[in-house]
Amino acid sequence: MAYHWRYQDGVGREVSGPDIAFAEQTAAERWFEDQWPELAEAGVEQVTLLHNGAEVYGPMSLRPEA
Protein backbone atom coordinates (compact mmCIF):
# COMPACT_ATOMS: atom_id res chain seq x y z
CA MET A 1 0.00 0.00 0.00
CA ALA A 2 1.50 3.30 -1.07
CA TYR A 3 0.67 6.98 -1.02
CA HIS A 4 1.70 9.26 -3.88
CA TRP A 5 1.12 12.86 -4.89
CA ARG A 6 -0.40 13.79 -8.26
CA TYR A 7 0.92 17.12 -9.51
CA GLN A 8 -1.20 19.35 -11.75
CA ASP A 9 -1.26 22.75 -13.38
CA GLY A 10 -4.04 25.28 -12.73
CA VAL A 11 -6.52 23.59 -15.09
CA GLY A 12 -5.95 20.05 -13.84
CA ARG A 13 -3.47 18.74 -16.40
CA GLU A 14 -0.85 16.47 -14.87
CA VAL A 15 2.66 17.87 -14.69
CA SER A 16 5.88 16.17 -13.68
CA GLY A 17 7.02 16.12 -10.09
CA PRO A 18 8.93 13.88 -7.69
CA ASP A 19 7.79 10.26 -7.98
CA ILE A 20 8.03 9.23 -4.34
CA ALA A 21 6.00 6.49 -2.62
CA PHE A 22 5.18 6.77 1.07
CA ALA A 23 4.10 3.91 3.32
CA GLU A 24 1.88 6.16 5.46
CA GLN A 25 -0.34 9.15 4.79
CA THR A 26 1.33 11.16 7.55
CA ALA A 27 4.75 10.64 5.94
CA ALA A 28 3.42 11.90 2.60
CA GLU A 29 1.87 14.94 4.27
CA ARG A 30 5.06 15.77 6.23
CA TRP A 31 7.09 15.58 3.02
CA PHE A 32 4.62 17.86 1.27
CA GLU A 33 4.74 20.43 4.09
CA ASP A 34 8.48 20.83 3.45
CA GLN A 35 8.37 20.64 -0.35
CA TRP A 36 5.36 22.67 -1.45
CA PRO A 37 7.26 25.96 -2.00
CA GLU A 38 9.71 24.21 -4.35
CA LEU A 39 6.86 22.46 -6.15
CA ALA A 40 5.09 25.78 -6.66
CA GLU A 41 8.28 27.35 -8.05
CA ALA A 42 8.58 24.41 -10.48
CA GLY A 43 5.10 25.15 -11.90
CA VAL A 44 2.91 22.81 -9.85
CA GLU A 45 -0.32 24.64 -9.03
CA GLN A 46 -2.31 21.91 -7.29
CA VAL A 47 -1.81 18.44 -5.84
CA THR A 48 -3.95 15.43 -5.02
CA LEU A 49 -2.99 12.72 -2.53
CA LEU A 50 -3.49 9.19 -3.86
CA HIS A 51 -3.53 5.86 -2.01
CA ASN A 52 -3.00 2.89 -4.33
CA GLY A 53 -4.28 5.05 -7.20
CA ALA A 54 -7.48 6.19 -5.45
CA GLU A 55 -7.91 9.83 -4.46
CA VAL A 56 -7.64 10.50 -0.72
CA TYR A 57 -8.17 14.26 -1.06
CA GLY A 58 -7.53 17.10 -3.45
CA PRO A 59 -6.95 18.83 -5.61
CA MET A 60 -5.37 21.24 -3.17
CA SER A 61 -4.12 24.57 -4.53
CA LEU A 62 -0.55 25.73 -3.91
CA ARG A 63 -1.48 29.34 -4.69
CA PRO A 64 -1.95 31.77 -1.83
CA GLU A 65 -5.58 32.64 -1.22
CA ALA A 66 -6.59 36.09 -2.40
Mean pLDDT by 10 residues, the chain (66 residues): 94 94 98 96 96 96 78
Q: Please tell me the predicted confidence (pLDDT) of residue 64.
A: 76
Q: Give pLDDT, residue 1.
A: 75
pTM value? 0.91
The sheet carrying 54-61 orders its strands as 3-8, 46-51, 54-61
pLDDT at position 35 is 96
- Report pLDDT for 10: 86
Asked if 47 and 32 count as a contact pair (C-beta separation under 8 A), the reply is: yes
